[in-house]
Amino acid sequence: MSVVTIARQGTIAVVTIDNPPVNALSQAVRQGLVDAVSALDGDPHISAVVLVCAGRTFIAGADVSEFDKPPQPPHLPDVVSAIELAAKPWIAAIHGSALGGGFEVALGCRFRLATADASVGLPEVTLGIVPGAGGTVRTLRLAGVEAAVDLVTTGKPVRAPRALELGLIDRIVEGDLRAAAIAFAGDALALPQPLSLRPAPTVPDAFWMETEAAIAKRARGEVAPLRALACLRRASETDFAAALQFERATFLELRASEQAAALRHVFFAERAAPRPAGLSGVQVLPLRNTAVIGGGTMGAGIAAALRDAGLPVILIERDDAAVERGIANLRDIFAGAVKRGRLTEAAAEARLAGVTGSTDYAALADTDLVIEAVFEELSVKRQVFEQLGRVCRPDAVLATNTSYLDPRAIAEGLPNPGRFIGLHFFSPANVMKLLEIVPTPQTAEQTLATGFALGRMLGKVPVRAGICEGFIGNRILKRYRAEAEALVGQGVAIAAVDAAMRGYGFAMGPFEAQDLGGLDIAFLQREGVRAAGQDVPETLGDILVRAGRKGQKTGGGWYDYKPGDRRPVPSEEVARLLGARIEPGLALDAEAIADRLVGAMAREGEAILSEGIAEKTSDIDLVEIHGYGFPRWRGGPMFGTRSTST
């Protein structure tokens, strides 16, 4: 069946794109559109054309899977021009998302109608490229410089009501979109001019310079946002044809870049993650209501994530005061969301109203999913599961949020151990996208599939991890930190290591990050292992914690901090404390430092893969990007190695 078809209703032609799953602009779609323009321009009975899409969305963009191959004609800029300059005016009827090349096709149309829940955007920079079919040149003419800069350099889509305010669409349609578009096309006498014929708005040079400085700061080495800005500036300062050519050349150059390849790798890895091939067809258990045991930072964050997905939550704590604290933690989380404009007051209240605090496990008799997030100590966790085993339905999924303990030990003695699973959230759990899903050898497939279904409901990036100390993420973190300490031991300055990793694209270096999170967490964990009789060599961090330097919260860790100031200051005390363990002499530049640290992560990743702890390299990349701030545009620590197919 053809991916582009034409139907006629009176004098109006309806061109439908039907290219599941998201109507991406494959070569066949582009050809179909060009053919439709020719056919309809030559049809004397047709006065206007409505462009609609079948399925869940309007065109989601160019077909990203074609980006590894040479571009095939007809090229999208020519398709958009053909639509724009067609003798019969084209009208876009947008539902779902009109993104990237999809929005560019809509920009070629003379009028844009959209459903109220539709969104439009130019997310190309998130793929390491710039719009390649006139997106920068036409958006600027349509919505002005500032709106265009925002849309193109952030890549964030805009919902229809806001898009209407910005002028990105022309009308919102309630009810039947296709019928409304046909009716509109029948009446439309004077449509706005094609965008390519309109003048480009200009702004003073200072605007471009300030915006460039702001974007460069934010981008931390990512090139596409700055190149997109350059396209917009060119669009403002030259004629349409020259700007289009500049944009196209930039698009083709970036499309072949390493950053774009890395971002495409992440794009497809993220889409594959929520639906692992091995679980297709496995029945998922119902998730109608949930409970969280423990209302501390982690428990409250998990409860907030569950509420954000619309699930009712019972929050269990030891006593009434602890219940109160847990609810207060949740109230703070929702209040923060209101402050940042993410939630209305009313929505925040509704989220909180869906949480029932209790000290009585009997309240969990009919709960579908319980997530334990209590103190990280085996005996405490076991007690929790003992009680859950008594009160919960035999088919209720019981999950632990442990980050270091062995889930098999936690589940020991639990009736129906097939419904037990590890669900490792990352703090703050309502914000961080990563969810490590850790089955035990006894976990039933259905429970595992339900874990992934939960990940999808919560909008997380779920990754299956096997059982070992630290699972995937914390195991690599440990190796990363050890390598950073090794560099310091060989004479590289602490600040040089942090600066190198910031230069690589992390928001913070390994030592600054530890100062923020606290050095004592990993220290206590090592102490626990030592207490159990294992030999764990003293780390440099241990020396600092023993000297009372636990990070920012104690006024110093790897660095000193002035009161009320979070800026790290190299510390003489640290130099003195660690002096005996440092052999000066190693001089490395920033690139060599980053190579050492990322190389160590990749080697740990290889070990993790060979032990079967991770299923594929792209899963490790997702863990690092979504849990540990690894720069997305670098593709993850395994991306460069590509030793195993992704």
Nearer to ligand 3H9, 76 or 292 (CB): 76
Q: Which of 23, 403, 571, 618 is catalytic?
A: 403
47 flagged as catalytic: no
Query: Is 474 noted as a catalytic residue in this protein?
Result: yes
- In the complex, the residues that contact ligand 3H9 under the rule CB under 6 A are 21-22, 24, 56-57, 60-65, 76, 97, 99-101, 104, 123-124, 127, 131-133, 135, 268, 271-272
Q: If DSSP codes are grouped into helix, strand and coil, which group holds residue 190? A: coil
Write down the least CB distance from residue 131 to ligand 3H9, Å: 4
Among residues 426, 35, 96, 419, the alpha carbon closest in space to that of 13 is found at 35
Coil, strand or helix: which one is 196?
helix
Which residues does residue 12 pair with via DSSP β-bridges, in sequence order? Answer: 9, 48
Residues 621 and 637 sit within 8 Å (Cβ to Cβ): yes
Angle between helices 135-143 and 101-108 (to 10 degrees): 60
Residue 74 beta carbon to ligand 3H9: minimum distance, rounded to whole angstroms: 11
Q: Which residue has the tokens 């496990």?
A: 361
User: In this complex, which beta carbon is closest to ligand 3H9, that of residue 123 or of residue 635?
Assistant: 123
- Catalytic residue, candidates 424, 483, 485, 512: 424
Residue 381 or 464: the one with the smaller Cβ distance to ligand 3H9 is 464
Residue 237 CB neighbour total at 10 angstroms = 14
Q: Given 84, 436, 483, 512, which residue is catalytic?
A: 436
Residue whose structure tokens are 């390491």: 128
The gap from C-alpha 46 to its chain's centroid, in whole angstroms, comes to 45
The structure tokens 């020519």 sit at 78
Q: Which of 118, 132, 57, 446 is nearest to 281 (CA)?
A: 446
Is 273 or 522 the residue whose CB approaches ligand 3H9 more closely? 273
Q: How far is the CB of 621 from ligand 3H9 (least distance, A)?
A: 16
Structure tokens, 638:
């395994």
Contact 480, 508 (CB under 8 A): no
- Rounded CA gap, 387 and 396, in Å? 13
User: Is 436 assigned a catalytic role?
Assistant: yes
Minimum CB separation of residue 599 from ligand 3H9 in Å reads: 30
Q: Which residue has the tokens 């966790």?
A: 381
- 119 belongs to the catalytic site: no
What is the nearest approach in angstroms of ligand 3H9 to the Cβ of residue 92? 15
Residue recorded with tokens 């009810």: 175
Asked if 425 and 298 touch (Cβ cutoff 8 Å), the reply is yes
Give the residue with the Cβ less far from ligand 3H9, 57 or 430: 57
Which residue matches tokens 């907030």? 304
Smaller CB distance to ligand 3H9: residue 131 or 635? 131
Q: Could you count the other beta carbons within 10 Å of the beta carbon of residue 160?
A: 24
CB of 103 to ligand 3H9, least distance (A): 8
Quick one: how many helices (H) and strands (E) in the chain? Answer: 25, 19
Nearer to ligand 3H9, 117 or 538 (CB): 117
The residue behind tokens 């509704």 is 350
What is d(CA 105, CA 101) in angstroms, rounded to the nearest whole number? 6
Q: Which residues are catalytic?
A: 403, 424, 436, 474
